[in-house]
Chain A
């Protein structure tokens, strides 16, 4: 990997980004492509749901419950904790049906407004959290951590199977879950300040 040039550099950016591999790999790649012709052009869903996707789906389902608990415990959230299971189910269904299109638009397209609002909410998070009771802060942080972990897992799974439509959808949902938590904290924090 050492360069024979003897060039002297004053910045990492001057290092060459390209390196020539020791041999042409195309023949090996082509052979592997030819060995799996059926994979080309098939949709991700048609390939079936991989095992790891089921695990992630379970994780995201748990995550949704975690987020609901987080919302329910926020002061003045308008959510009654007794009977929360029923409401959570109803809300999950509403969210799934109503927000799906918006979620897809938000993450599948470079939606500047989504990005701006998310950044704003994230910037304000620390201030808003400071206005909430300690136990609520912990719940919110736990929810956000769970979302982050879920997103990391989904992204890792997407790395292994970048064309998997289910994983893409789950990633979109994870971003939306995060937005819901951030927006709820923003509202609750603002009410606490008043």
Chain B
């Protein structure tokens, strides 16, 4: 396997090569190849392997299970149409997430939601998203769901799915600084809503 590339190197399919610890080329490789040649059973396997992660992201970004389901379907349909263009150097799951985020953003634009402006951030130090006092999972999910769109998007991509700022910014179509600012804001709001106080 070639050495790991930095997260900054973008691929033509919009992904980042080997952007997480999991190797890019694995079980998915053969399935993607077969699916790209029109094998629906192979694509179904890919769907079953990845639907949880795609749907999880969609639910968190939309806060609406029905819409999340619709967006997840659209994501897989677009992936099917474009599988032959998918570059094997990036992870399929990242590529699917990228498509899903784009579908979410399109839907929001259709609802003509306004863009949120956020000032440049203070320096962030807590990259682990640690919470001093453990919180119940449901309470944490509810607090995240209550965040404004922009802040929730970034917190979900970076905090839960582990994307780097650069990756999350590229997915969301915002500047990296905006991504950091949104994360800073999200953490402040989250702490406030969880009653944690202290510095964000």
Contact = CB atoms under 8 A, between A and B. Distances in A.
A pairs with B: yes
Most buried by B among A39, A41, A114, A159: A159
B8 A119 contact: yes
A30 B38 CA distance: 12
Contacts of B95: 162
B128 A11 contact: yes
Contact of B101 (A8, A152, A159, A162): A159
Nearest to A16: B56
Chain B: interface secondary structure?
A: helix
Contact of A8 (B14, B56, B135): B135
A13 B159 contact: yes
Interface string B138-170: 101110110000000001000111100000001
A130 to B, nearest CB: 18
Interface in B158-194: 159-162, 170, 173-175
Contacts of A20: 52, 55
B65 A8 contact: no
Contacts of A11: 128-131
A44 interface: yes
Given A1-B65, A6-B138, A159-B98, A111 B106 contact: no
Contact of B102 (A28, A156, A172): A156
Interface string B1-17: 00001101111111001
A19 B52 contact: yes
B53 A18 contact: yes
Interface residues of B, number: 76
Contacts of B132: 10
B85 to A, nearest CB: 4
A171 interface: yes
B142 A156 contact: no
A23 B53 CA distance: 15
A9 B52 contact: no
A159 B6 contact: no
A32 B73 contact: yes
B56 A160 contact: no
A51 interface: no
Interface string A24-42: 0110111011001001110
Interface string B94-133: 0100110111011000000000000000000000111111
A192 interface: no
Nearest to B142: A2
Contacts of A7: 136-137
B51 interface: yes
A158 B11 CA distance: 12
A33 B80 contact: yes
B24 to A, nearest CB: 10
A86 interface: no
A94 interface: no
Interface of A: 1-23, 25-26, 28-30, 32-33, 36, 39-41, 44, 107-112, 114-115, 119, 148, 152, 155-156, 158-163, 165, 168, 171-172
Given A13-B128, A19-B52, A21-B55, 11 more contacts: A1-B63, A8-B137, A9-B131, A9-B140, A11-B130, A12-B144, A15-B141, A21-B72, A159-B102, A159-B105, A162-B85
11 contacts: A1-B59, A1-B63, A3-B138, A10-B133, A11-B129, A18-B53, A19-B55, A19-B56, A107-B12, A112-B5, A162-B99
The 5 nearest A-B residue pairs measured at CB: A159-B102, A18-B52, A163-B82, A12-B159, A19-B56
